[in-house]
Amino acid sequence: MKNTLIVLLLATTSVLMAGTKGIKVIYGEDNRVDVMDSTNNMFVELSQSTAAMIPSSDLRAQTNGEVQIRSKTLQSSMRVCSTERFANQPTAANCSGFLVGENLLVTAGHCIRSQRDCSSNDWVFDYKLESKNQSGISVDKNSVYKCKRIISQKLSNWDKDDYALIELDRKVTDRRVLDFRRKGKVAKGADLVVIGHPSGLPTKIADGAKVRSLKGKFFVANLDTYGGNSGSAVFDANTGVIEGILVRGETDYISRGGCRVSNEVSDDAGRGEDVTYILNIPELSNL
Convert the pLDDT of each residue in 49-76 to its tens digit: 999 999 999 999 999 999 999 999 999 9
| pLDDT for the residue 12 | 36
The CA R_g of the chain, rounded to the nearest whole Å, is: 17
Residue type, 103: N
Give the CA angle between residues 280, 281, 284 to the nearest 5°.
125
Residue type, 97: G
User: Which ranges of 39-106 would DSSP assign to H, the alpha helix?
Assistant: 41-47, 74-78
User: Cβ(8)–Cβ(252) under 8 Å?
Assistant: no
Does the pTM of the predicted model rise above 0.85?
A: yes
Residue 21 — very low, low, confident or very high, per pLDDT cuts 50/70/90? very low
Helices and strands in the chain, H and E counts? 5, 20
d(CA 15, CA 121): 9
With 0-12 / 13-18 / 19 or more C-beta atoms within 10 angstroms meaning exposed / middle / buried, residue 184 is exposed
Domain edges within the chain: 1-282
| pLDDT for the residue 228 | 94
Average pLDDT (246-253) is: 90
pLDDT per position as a tens digit, 152-188:
999 999 999 999 999 999 999 999 999 999 999 999 9
d(CA 188, CA 44): 25
Residue 1 — very low, low, confident or very high, per pLDDT cuts 50/70/90? very low
CA–centroid distance for 83 within its chain: 23
Within 10 A of 263 (CB to CB), how many other CB atoms are there?
18
| pLDDT for the residue 7 | 36
Beta bridge partners of 191: 210
Residue type, 248: R
Fold classified for 1-282: Thrombin, subunit H (2.40.10)
| pLDDT for the residue 8 | 35
Residue 252 — very low, low, confident or very high, per pLDDT cuts 50/70/90? confident
